[in-house]
Amino acid sequence: MNLVLYSSKSGNTKKLADTVFAALPDPKEILPITEMPASLADYNLIAFGFWLQAGQPDAASQSALARIKEKDVFLFATHGAAQNSAHAVKAMESAQEMVPSCRVIGTYSCQGEVNPKVIATAESKPQRPPWLDDAPDAVGHPNTGDLEELKAIIAEKL
């Protein structure tokens, strides 16, 4: 059984999750991280989606990733930082390190529109977060181009 598990506060990562789910073969399930099953024994592939918080997978995702052992895993994420920026690449590497017993079969990440209130809070911090300059370009993402790119990666990797 294939499982798509995702964390999404404002809906961006959910868009990727729905796209991954549609592209996966049956049998399959999709669940928000709040409904993560106690046992993952029924699943061989887990596609896991998270958003970036302080340069890392969001806190709930970090706890969930620690519970995924010896599975094939596809990791996907959204972030305010530019796609393929050092910030985004480093965060995806951190996520991979959180599932050391798994085989990571692929990854994908793209920008996700940042809530203006979050931008305002970040602007007021004494130390400017590295993703803040990229945040204006995140408006409208993930867009259809991002979702097409993700679909192509899923088709290639699975």
Residues in contact with ligand FMN by the rule CB under 6 A: 8-13, 51-55, 78-81, 87, 112, 114, 118, 129, 131
CA nearest 122: which of 135, 111, 112, 132? 132
**Minimum separation from the CB atom of position 69 to ligand FMN (A):** 25
Nearer of residues 73 and 129 to ligand FMN, judged by Cβ? 129
For the CB of residue 78, give the shortest distance to ligand FMN in the complex, in Å: 3
From the number of C-beta atoms within 10 Å of its C-beta (0-12, 13-18, 19+), residue 117 rates as exposed
Shortest approach of ligand FMN to residue 48 CB, angstroms?
A: 13
Nearest residue (CB) to ligand FMN, 19 versus 129: 129
Q: How far is CA 158 from the centre of its chain?
A: 17
